[in-house]
């Protein structure tokens, strides 16, 4: 019965077709024209939406801001996440490992909206942090309703994805390699620099790509913590639908942002191969 395996795949194929259909519809719409006063669209096919988006200063500044913010968020996630992943992979203290893991899992379990409001309570202009600063007689800081708040919220959201992805890679590096390096005279720091870091580059790039993709598509945190001042791609797309009501234009905008995101991720991927080679060369 050679049909049998395909039958098993049927649900997956059905689900995938549904996604693909939605995606194709959306691509088709991006080449059409809006019928004024309705949600309907009509032909003939045109590049007008694309050229309009490319010409639009809002779309350009959004693209730049999104790439810049996503890059910053990924960098901060990596800087915070690497030590956490390393502790999870190598610490001999079970208590410490559990604490870190628990902290990460809790962020998974609490919903995004809840977390955004929690951050507002902590970071808001009259939030816990500022109240504490006031109590200590220090000047207050603006941490919410601006980029800082959005970056904090998104980095916190990305951290568990980053850490758990990198953790798998770090666990694959045999402990004996680190011991070998120390035995040959390398301090802990040099073991990290010459052995652990280069061997973790593929995992690091996977984790960073995942985080970068997550940051590019951030919607909730810019919306709730950005105070209307932070324009990332998803928020601008959302606002454009509400204000212009021009579905083809928005579809074209979304398609262009998607291409940009894919290009950025591809770049990151090619970076992996290059760094791995460079590093091996440098360690000679």
Partner 1 sequence: MSATSGATISRGCRLEIEGLAKNYGDVAAISDVTLTVPPGALITLLGPSGCGKTTLMRSIAGFVSPDRGRIALDGRDLLALPPERRSTAMLFQNYSLFPHMTVAANVGFGLRMHGVRRAEAEPRIAEALRLTRIAELADRHPGQLSGGQQQRVALARALVTRPDILLLDEPFGALDQSLREEVQIELRKLQQSLGITTLVVTHDQLEALTLSDLVAVMNAGRIEQIGPPIEIYDRPNTAFVAKFMGVENLVPVRLGARDGDRMRVAAGSLEALVRLHTTAGVVDSAILAVRADAVEIASPGEPGTVAARIAFATNRGSSALYEVTTDDGQNLQASEDRRGGTLRALGSRVGVRLRGEACCLVTG
Residue span binding partner 1 (CB under 8 A) among the ranges 130-138, 140-148, 194-202, 247-255 = 194-202
x/- map, 118-157, partner 1, by CB under 8 A: ----------------------------------------
The beta strands (E) that lie in the chain are given as 33-34, 41-42
**What string of H, E and C letters represents the secondary structure of 160-195?**
HHHHHHHHHHHHCCCHHHHHHHHHCCCCHHHHHHHH
Closest CA to 59 of 267, 264, 260, 268: 260
Q: What is d(CA 259, CA 29) in angstroms, rounded to the nearest whole number?
A: 16
Q: What is d(CA 69, CA 65) in angstroms, rounded to the nearest whole number?
A: 6
Q: Residue 194, interface with partner 1 (CB under 8 A)?
A: yes
Q: Residue 176, interface with partner 1 (CB under 8 A)?
A: yes
Q: How far is the CB of 205 from partner 1 (least distance, A)?
A: 14
The nearer residue to partner 1, 84 or 201, going by C-beta atoms, is 201
Residue span binding partner 1 (CB under 8 A) among the ranges 30-38, 99-107, 171-179, 266-274 = 171-179
Residue owning tokens 């010409």: 55
Gyration radius from the chain CA atoms: 23
Q: How far is the CB of 163 from partner 1 (least distance, A)?
A: 23
Q: Collect all residues with Cβ–Cβ distance below 8 Å to 48 and sequence separation of at least 6.
A: 33
Q: Residue 269, interface with partner 1 (CB under 8 A)?
A: no
Residue of 1, 7, 135, 184 interacting with partner 1 (CB under 8 A): 184
DSSP states of 86-107:
HHHHH-S-HHHHHHHHHHHHHH
Q: Residue 93, interface with partner 1 (CB under 8 A)?
A: no
Q: How many residues bind partner 1 (CB under 8 A)?
A: 22
x/- map, 197-236, partner 1, by CB under 8 A: -xx-------------------------------------
For residue 133, the tally of other CB atoms under 10 A from its CB is 14
Residue span binding partner 1 (CB under 8 A) among the ranges 62-70, 157-165, 235-243, 272-280 = 272-280
Residue owning tokens 């601006």: 146
Q: How far is the CB of 179 from partner 1 (least distance, A)?
A: 6
Beta bridge partners of 42: 33
The nearer residue to partner 1, 159 or 199, going by C-beta atoms, is 199
Q: How far is the CB of 210 from partner 1 (least distance, A)?
A: 23
Q: Residue 174, interface with partner 1 (CB under 8 A)?
A: yes
Q: Which burial class, exposed, middle or buried, applies to 54 when counting CB atoms under 10 A from its CB (0-12, 13-18, 19+)?
A: middle
Q: How far is the CB of 197 from partner 1 (least distance, A)?
A: 10
Q: What is d(CA 194, CA 43) in angstroms, rounded to the nearest whole number?
A: 59
Q: Residue 193, interface with partner 1 (CB under 8 A)?
A: no
The residues of the shown chain that bind partner 1, judged by CB under 8 A, are: 174, 176-177, 179-187, 190, 194-195, 198-199, 276, 279-280, 283-284
């Amino acid at each position: 019965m050679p049909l049998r395996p395909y039958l098993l795949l049927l649900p997956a194929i059905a689900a995938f077709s549904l996604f693909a259909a939605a995606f194709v519809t959306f691509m088709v719409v991006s080449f059409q024209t809006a019928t004024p006063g309705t949600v309907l669209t009509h032909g003939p096919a045109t590049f007008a939406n694309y050229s309009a988006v490319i010409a639009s200063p809002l779309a350009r500044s959004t693209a730049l801001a999104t790439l810049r913010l996503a890059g910053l968020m990924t960098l901060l996630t990596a800087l915070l996440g690497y030590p956490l992943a390393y502790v999870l992979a190598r610490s001999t203290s079970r208590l410490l490992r559990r604490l870190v893991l628990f902290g990460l899992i809790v962020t998974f379990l609490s919903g995004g909206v809840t977390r955004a409001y929690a951050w507002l309570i902590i970071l808001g202009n009259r939030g816990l942090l500022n109240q504490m600063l006031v109590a200590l007689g220090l000047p207050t800081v603006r941490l919410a309703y601006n980029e800082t708040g959005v970056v904090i919220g998104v980095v916190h959201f990305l951290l568990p994805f980053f850490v758990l992805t990198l953790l798998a890679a770090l666990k694959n590096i045999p402990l004996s390699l680190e011991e070998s390096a120390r035995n040959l005279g390398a301090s802990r720091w040099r073991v990290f620099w010459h052995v652990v870091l280069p061997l973790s580059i593929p995992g690091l790039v996977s984790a960073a790509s995942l985080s970068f993709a997550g940051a590019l598509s951030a919607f909730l945190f810019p919306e709730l913590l950005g105070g209307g001042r932070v324009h990332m791609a998803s928020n601008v797309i959302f606002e454009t639908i509400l204000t212009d009501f021009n579905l083809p234009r928005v579809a074209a905008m979304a398609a262009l942002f998607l291409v940009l995101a894919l290009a950025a991720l591809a770049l990151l991927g090619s970076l992996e191969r290059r760094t791995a080679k460079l590093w091996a060369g440098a360690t000679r």
